[in-house]
Structure 1
Amino acid sequence: MTPNRPSPAAAARTAVTAAANVTRGLEHALRSTVTDPTAKPDGRRRRWEKHKANRRTELTDGTIDAVRALGADVGMDEIAAHIGVSKTVLYRYFTDKNDLAVATAVRFFETTLLPRLTETITDDVDEYTLTRTVIEVYVTAVADEPNLYKFALTGAPSSVATADSEKLVAQLMTDLLVLRMSERDADTSGAEVWSNALVGAIQRAVDWWMTERSMPVGDLIDYLTMLSWSSIVGIAAVNGSRQAFVAAPPTLPEPAGTDHPVPGGPASDHAAAGDPIENAT
């Protein structure tokens, strides 16, 4: 590791902090649904807004307990009864069940996922180990909370909770990619595209796995790491350059037991040019 170069863990912690800031910004936006943005601020109003924010957090924590105890399909009446309030109280702080689901997703990230990431990121790991660690933390966090995951992070394709949960993780990955690639003077123009593509793929795979459970969780983590790390290595090989990649895409390895390039693949098109990664500029 070169002098003055942040460690992978330091870069990851910076990204976690950035994601936490996004989380807090999202929760602030959610709280605005129960306030009047046109009202003039004063001391009494600020105290009341603080009370409402604290009460909203208490109700969200109560909802998490209710979902854990009663299941992902729990209704607003059941949630209110479990918390010990009326349904009217819930609707005073949340516009509807979807709003409550979004708040639950944000709280899940704040209290479960982000602390686990911070605790497991250490200074003595390389980029590959860090990549696998981030995936492992995410997968095990949701695997440990199947009811909460279904309630807060999944649902209809248009679910706001799903979109915002992906946004938070994609923000973390984007910040991490930009930090690491900038140290290499690489082109970071595609960082948001790559981050959202990888996070979307991981989330869809986890959604599928949470329903099917067709393989051990360790296998899922290995396969997701295989996909993500291969993508990162491929991007790094061309220094993030879209032009270099398009000009000389990497070749597929030859099938075992053959001496010929993959028919119709880039290997046959670029074999005469030598190693495309070496030739890319």
Structure 2
Amino acid sequence: MANRPNPAAAARAAMAAAANVTRGLEQVLTTVTDTGAKPDGRKQRWEKHKLARRTELTDGVIAAIRELGADVGMDEIAAHIGVSKTVLYRYFTDKSDVGVATTVRFFETTIWPRLTEAISDDVDEYTLTHTIIGVYVHAVDDEPNLYRFALASSPTSSPAPADSVRLVSQLVMSSIVMRMADRGADTTGAELWSHALVGGIQHVVDWWMTSRTLDADQVVDYLTMMVWSAIVGVASVDGSRDAFLAAPPPLTEPAREAPSDAGGGL
């Protein structure tokens, strides 16, 4: 594979690009729109202090949820941290805002580092697919109280903030583009495919965390089965929309064992 970019370098480039877009997840979610006025140094220092204090309180909220469970109330959270509920609401607008903050913090400190480490490994495409899906599913499975608290607090059907989804999609897209370019394939659909993969897996995990009809390893394997089948299909036409539409891969017949003649028959 001549001239293949280093996977770790590609991952770092994706992180840098994502950081330029978001300017940091917490800042995007909490910063008030700039009015164009001249920057006020004292105000900027205060905003920086508020952000640091909000992060500190968010870590306290996470500790409370881990110890007290997903159904913990704001009074219990405040008592566990050692502050009044009034102090909490000085930094969070409501419980939904607390849910967003905990999700962002969990993403920044747990999911994102694990994903970037996994995607930096120079492994074959199947192993990479299975590993990335496993990282996300098991990270969530390791913290069910945090996820359920965020899900219950979310004003939407998912606790994942749009900025975190975009970050992961950009990271996945960088890997898709790198590996498809290695094959000389058409990468026009890479951004769409990355959003489809990340969004689909996110919604599956949201559903699974409330239903729990399968264990974590089963979720990883079934998701890998679906995603890998899609990857094989895309690779079979080198990413070309025209080639795919001209000759869609046929649905194969299931393999069946030949009937046995043992024991005779009628």
Q: What TM-score, normalized by structure 2, do the two folds share?
A: 0.83
The 3 A distance-change label for structure 1 pair 59 and 156 is closer
Give the CA deviation at 1:248: 0.8
In the alignment, structure 2 segments of 5+ residues that lack a partner are 258-266
Give the CA deviation at 1:13: 4.8
Give the CA deviation at 1:250: 0.4
- Looking at structure 1, the residues matched to 125 and 8 of structure 2 have their Cα atoms a distance apart, in angstroms, of 8
Please, which moves more after superposition, 189-198 or 178-187? 178-187
- Looking at structure 1, the residues matched to 172 and 120 of structure 2 have their Cα atoms a distance apart, in angstroms, of 17
Structure 2 letter corresponding to 1:130: L
The 3 A distance-change label for structure 1 pair 96 and 48 is same
Q: 1:99 aligns with which of 91, 97, 100?
A: 97
Q: Percent identity?
A: 68
SS of residue in 1 equivalent to 2:136: helix
Q: What TM-score, normalized by structure 1, do the two folds share?
A: 0.79
Alignment of 1:1-281 (within 5 A): 1-2=1-2, 4-16=3-15, 18-19=17-18, 24-33=23-32, 40-121=38-119, 123-153=121-151, 158-159=156-157, 161-164=159-162, 165-257=164-256
In the alignment, structure 1 segments of 5+ residues that lack a partner are 259-281
What RMSD in Å do the two structures reach over aligned CA positions?
2.8
Higher RCO (Cα < 8 Å, 6 or more apart) = 2
Give the CA deviation at 1:17: 5.2
Number of residue pairs the alignment of both structures matches: 257
Structure 2 letter corresponding to 1:41: P
Give a deviation string over 1:253-280, Cα, whole Å, max 9, x none.
Answer: 123349xxxxxxxxxxxxxxxxxxxxxx
> Is the contact between residue 23 and residue 110 of structure 1 (CA under 8 Å) also seen in structure 2?
no
The 3 A distance-change label for structure 1 pair 109 and 77 is same
Please, which moves more after superposition, 50-59 or 195-204? 195-204
Give the CA deviation at 1:66: 1.4
> Is the contact between residue 58 and residue 105 of structure 2 (CA under 8 Å) also seen in structure 1?
yes
Give the CA deviation at 1:5: 0.6
Give the CA deviation at 1:69: 1.5
> Is the contact between residue 198 and residue 228 of structure 1 (CA under 8 Å) also seen in structure 2?
yes
The 3 A distance-change label for structure 1 pair 239 and 141 is same
Give the CA deviation at 1:106: 1.2
